Structure 1
Amino acid sequence: MLGDEFMQWGFINGSPNAQGHTYQLAQYLLDGQSKVDWNLVNYQIAQLGQQRHAKTDEFMDVVSEVSHADALLIGTPIYWSDMTGLLKTFLDRCTMVARQFDFTDIPVYLLVNGTQTPDQTAQGIAPAVSQLCEFLKMDYQDTIYVDTSKVVQPSDYTSALHKQQEQLHTFVNVR
């Protein structure tokens, strides 16, 4: 795992657009790193309390894979000053499996993007993820905020996100 030569990142994409800004930003940030992507929109994950009624609920499959990642990047666009419903549902369900999976010390970075200044419009996202990480004994590291009204195309990523990309790459080498 963390001490091995190859560290496996996991990217949980909470966007309803599997290939949108959130995905593209994460691909830039983790460029050159070994990683697995989980685009939550591509899975059937029932709301907390509704999973018993869902005929095809894939939550346990996804969370099992997530528990094997060496580090996580969780991404969400801002919807009405909060994370997407897809990500909220996934995180809610994670609280119910804390004893079934070992998330201990998995480092977590959060990627929040929106068309306004995300650190002002989505103040509740980072504390919610940080609290979940504490509950699951994960190691919450940092939040990366991206204003997608200014960082629109891949050509904008280097100038806006090079420091954060280096931080994630350096993090891998230090662990």
Structure 2
Amino acid sequence: MLGDGIMHWGFINGSPNAHGHTAKLAQYLLADQSQVSWNLVEHHVAQLGQQRQAQDDDFLAIAKEVAAVDALLIGTPIYWSDMTGLLKTFLDRCTLVARQFDFSQIPVYVLINGTQSPTTTAAGIAPAVAQLCDFLKMDFQDAIYVDTSVIVQPADYAAALHNEQQKLHMIVKAG
């Protein structure tokens, strides 16, 4: 907590659609919570090995802000049975700043959504995020899978995510 007694959430949106299902699902999950969001599609995060000048690359600024949150939700739609390239690039870069920022003990959830059984079609996403969390000394909590083919109207978010929202809100109460 940032000294004000309120739990502050961060949301990393790995979707190429800043206002699509991933963002709407996160908005539902984090309703009534203090939060900051980073839509990766709106930032320039260079791939590993690319030489960029500091003003061209937003990664360090985002990583610094991520290190300041109390809890983190990472969201991605499924692209070819995996996370988006935007999110993969961001997570790859995180390995280089493990000593530069203190991410330790930040609880992390990963939100994975797609239209074809996300628990089976993208089985590698959660373990990859969990492994990165272990490396950064973050506290990986759980993966939240949502089949977006059943999301047609706003009421469907509640039906798909009510239990998961309660889990995330419990972190606030425990903090």
Q: TM-score range by the shorter chain?
A: over 0.9
Name the structure 1 match of 2:171: 171
List runs of 5+ in structure 1 lacking aligned partners.
none
Shift of 1:4: 5.4
Residue correspondence of structure 1 range 59-78 to structure 2 within 5 A: 59-78=59-78
Check the 8 A contact 1:64/1:101 in 2, yes or no.
yes
Name the structure 2 match of 1:146: 146
Is 1:115–2:115 an aligned residue pair? yes
> Equivalents in 2 of 1:57, 1:6: separation in Å?
30
Name the structure 2 match of 1:44: 44
SS at match of 1:167: helix
> Equivalents in 1 of 2:116, 2:49: separation in Å?
33
Name the structure 1 match of 2:14: 14
Backbone CA RMSD of aligned residues: 1.5
Shift of 1:174: 1.2
**Residues 139-164 of structure 1, C-alpha deviations (whole Å, 9 max, x = no match):** 00000000001123322011111111
TM-score by length of 1: 0.96
Q: 145-154 or 63-72, which moves further after superposition?
A: 145-154
Q: Which runs of 4+ in 1 moved over 3 A?
A: 51-55
**Residues 45-65 of structure 1, C-alpha deviations (whole Å, 9 max, x = no match):** 110111446861111111111
Check the 8 A contact 1:46/1:54 in 2, yes or no.
no
Query: What is the one-letter code of the residue matched to 2:148?
Result: T
TM-score by length of 2: 0.96
SS at match of 1:88: helix
Name the structure 2 match of 1:23: 23
Shift of 1:3: 8.0
Q: 54-63 or 39-48, which moves further after superposition?
A: 54-63
> Equivalents in 1 of 2:142, 2:4: separation in Å?
23
Query: What is the one-letter code of the residue matched to 2:15?
Result: S
> Equivalents in 1 of 2:51, 2:109: separation in Å?
28
SS at match of 1:41: helix
> Equivalents in 2 of 1:58, 1:2: separation in Å?
23
> Equivalents in 1 of 2:169, 2:51: separation in Å?
37
List runs of 5+ in structure 2 lacking aligned partners.
none
How many residue pairs get aligned? The number is 175
> Equivalents in 2 of 1:17, 1:51: separation in Å?
26
> Equivalents in 2 of 1:93, 1:14: separation in Å?
14
Shift of 1:2: 7.4
Check the 8 A contact 1:45/1:90 in 2, yes or no.
yes
